[in-house]
Amino acid sequence: MVDAGGVRPVIWTPTRPPRRRTGADRIAEGRHVAQLASGPLAFTLRRSPRARRLRVTVDPVKGVLVTLPARRLGGVRLVESFLAEREAWLRRHLASQAREWARLDAQRTSGQWGAIRYLGQLHRLHVVPADPSVRRSSVLRVGGIDGDELHLVLAPSDRRAPGRVLEDWLRERARIVIAGEVDGAAPALGVRPIAVTVRDQRTRWGSAARSGRLSFSWRLILAPPEALHTVVVHELAHLRQFGHGPDFWALVGSLRPDHREWRRWLREHVLELHTALEPFDGVTSAAS
Ligand SMILES: [Zn+2]
């Protein structure tokens, strides 16, 4: 990855699901503006009792997000110098975020929301009613005249909302495809993961624990297969090399010489992948 001036570049971090908060575990958040060399920079400051050190990420929704251990003294002044040291990196990420928002806005206005990316290809979505004898809604991938389509076949007796049906199907496809890629790449890297889970991992595309457990975001199924494979190889390689040193990248490159290109693809499409099902939010009616 690109050097981030001491900050691990965060590929993406959309909002986390709300966590139950107790008095001892209260996270306080506020908006601030830092005066930096090339102008003001707005950021959200989050004071968290769980945080152990000062860190900064670029959140697709909140923008610059600084997390500060709740008991750390120094507050906003300390944060300003921390941000100043990382200004170039932050500006670069904010600029690419702005470009992606503009691209998504253009897609919305051109009416492309009736499509979703699957294995990297845009698929038009069609909602069709299921045969009355069918009890459970399903998704079919169909080759259409002008491109691939996903058909949401909705059964009236299935209470799941259309977006849920689609997400369940995508998660299942992700489990199958990721398991296959792990099985394919693990022997080549000489590693054996003990468990692979697929979930809506919101802070990383994938993660690896020293215990041998791997975890991946189901949303990788929306990305081109090469991007999904890149993340699988990356996490498997961590079972041999923790950290991101030259040996680690050599290992990743041995199986995926073009890994940088696909990591870039994922960075550039983070918002799209994380808002892919938003058009379905609140849609509860079945096919009509
Ligand atoms: Zn890594």
Q: Following DSSP, what letter does each residue of 246-274 receive, concatenated?
A: HHHHHHHHHH-TTHHHHHHHHHHTHHHHH
Give the separation between CA 264 and CA 78, rounded to whole angstroms.
31
pLDDT of residue 47: 84
pLDDT of residue 229: 98
Tokens representing 228 are 């999904």
Give the separation between CA 273 and CA 231, rounded to whole angstroms.
15
Cα 12 to averaged position of ligand 1 atoms, centre (Å) = 13
The one-letter amino acid at 156: P
pLDDT of residue 286: 41
Mean pLDDT along residues 91-107 = 77
Region(s) of the chain under CATH 3.30.2010.10: 112-280
The 10s digit of each residue's pLDDT in 150-184 is 888 989 899 998 889 999 999 999 999 999 999 99
The 10s digit of each residue's pLDDT in 40-53 is 999 988 888 888 88
Cα 210 to averaged position of ligand 1 atoms, centre (Å) = 12
Cα 164 to averaged position of ligand 1 atoms, centre (Å) = 30
Cα 102 to averaged position of ligand 1 atoms, centre (Å) = 29
Four-CA torsion 40, 43, 48, 50, nearest 10 degrees: -100
Cα 230 to averaged position of ligand 1 atoms, centre (Å) = 11
Cα 145 to averaged position of ligand 1 atoms, centre (Å) = 41
Cα 236 to averaged position of ligand 1 atoms, centre (Å) = 9
* pLDDT band, very low/low/confident/very high, at 20 (cuts 50, 70, 90): very low
Give the separation between CA 257 and CA 25, rounded to whole angstroms.
44
What CATH class does 112-280 carry?
alpha beta
- Percentage of the chain with pLDDT > 70? 82
Q: What's the helix, strand, coil split of the chain in %, to 5?
A: 40, 25, 35
Cα 234 to averaged position of ligand 1 atoms, centre (Å) = 6
Cα 152 to averaged position of ligand 1 atoms, centre (Å) = 36
